[in-house]
Structure 1
Amino acid sequence: MIRQVIVVEGKSDIARVSHAVEADMIATEGFGIRRETLEQIRLAYEKRGIIILTDPDGPGERIRQRLTRLFPKALHAFVPKSEASTENDVGIEDASPESIRKALSCLRVQYQEDSEEFSMGDIFAAGLTGRPDSSEKRARVGALLGIGYGNGKQFLKRLNHFGITRSEWEKALEACQKEPTC
């Protein structure tokens, strides 16, 4: 059983995550989180810690950002969009139990102070921006690092906010180069 409480967006997400791991969960039911739900999340955060596991899409990212502002020491888990998509939908409810377990095995905490370990030059030199296939490469490297997908600026912010080391960066780039899709 996972000690922390997992915060997801909806009841379908709870059902899917329950197939992957044994854990207590709270659903935000979207961006307009009710006061009672925020109080539940706050109590879980203070007593056991929380893991934020939102959908890999725009609304999921906005919910993640809001929760991070309210609960700055929350842990973050990211399921890559490619592993949480069907023809018509993107969400945790569409992820496989394996993808959910993998995301929960690579938890990150977002540091409130930016490091300056990485620059836009690093992103460009690695081919993660400025090329036709940069978006796909960022998605793959983000999945390998456990920080999710973002455009070039968001990706740089995540590298520096989630405390990624040069060693982790180099290993992820190397692993990505070995893949035929990278």
Structure 2
Amino acid sequence: MAEKLSQVIFVVEGKDDTARLRVAFGEFVQTIETGGSKISSAVLDLIAKAEEKHDIILLTDPDFQGERIRKIVLKRVPNVKQIFLNKADGRPHHKGSLGVEHADPDLLRQLLGKFVKENASTSDIMREDLSRLGLIDAQGSAVLREKLAKKCHLGQVNGKQLLKRLRLFGITKKELKEAMKDID
């Protein structure tokens, strides 16, 4: 994995997130820190420049500000890859705020492993599949989507975003059906 990580730059919110990634992956991890939700144009320029030669992975806190940062970065650099933490995975053990800096290093490695094998072109999921499974266009679909998103680490998704995220992570129909078996 170290060889693959040499081509990756993580975009995170701050130095504590960088420190947590170094615990998970080693000192060689490269990051660009946004400095919180007030991202400067210089940082956005840096991310855009870095994307020319590296894979960029966006990993923000599972909260409102983290989503805000995602939207800002994606507007400027739409081809970045994304890893999502569930809120429970970003909770501190004691006092403090929700964040990447509290994520278990094993979970971070597991999520990156999904990204490394990910190939969006392998997803064969169609909108009709989501409808058949009750994930869209049905009563209670929001609750099912929330459970699926949590299980598959898709981040918070609405009906329109679900298909896009499933494809982003290369999840197949078979994998989706398997994930849905445990959800009720």
Task: Check whether TM > 0.5.
Answer: yes
Does 2:72 align with 1:66?
A: yes
Aligned to 1:172: 179
CA distance in 1 between counterparts of 2:52 and 2:158 reads: 32
Superposed CA RMSD:
3.1
**Equivalent residues in 2 for 1:1-20, closer than 5 Å:** 1=2, 2=5, 3-20=7-24
Contact 2:120 2:168 in 1 (8 A): yes
Q: 1:93: how far off? A: 0.9
CA distance in 1, matches of 2:142, 2:74: 32
Quick one: structure 1 residues 123 and 8, their matched pair in 2 at CA, closer, same or farther if it must change by over 3 Å?
farther
Provide TM-score, normalisation by structure 2: 0.75
Mapping 1:152-163, distance limit 5 Å: 152-159=159-166, 162-163=169-170
Identity fraction in percent: 34
Query: With structure 1 as the length reference, what TM-score do the two structures score?
Result: 0.75
Structure 1 residue 45 displacement after superposition: 0.8
Unaligned runs of 5+ in 1: none
2:126 is the counterpart of 1:117: yes
Task: Give the count of matched residue pairs.
Answer: 170
Rounded Cα–Cα distance in structure 2 between residues aligned with 1:7 and 1:109? 20
Residue 125 to residue 73, structure 1, CA distance change in 2 (3 Å)? closer
2:127 counterpart letter in structure 1:
F
Alpha-carbon separation, structure 2, partners of 1:166 and 1:103: 20
3-state secondary structure, aligned to 2:114: coil
- The 5 Å alignment of 1:95-110 reads 95-107=103-115
TM-aligned CA deviation for residue 70 of structure 1: 1.9
Counterpart in 1 of 2:151? 141
Give structure 2 stretches of 5+ with no counterpart: none
User: How many angstroms does 1:75 deviate by?
Assistant: 1.5
**Judging changes above 3 Å, is the alpha-carbon distance between structure 1 residues 25 and 80 closer, same or farther for their aligned structure 2 residues?**
same
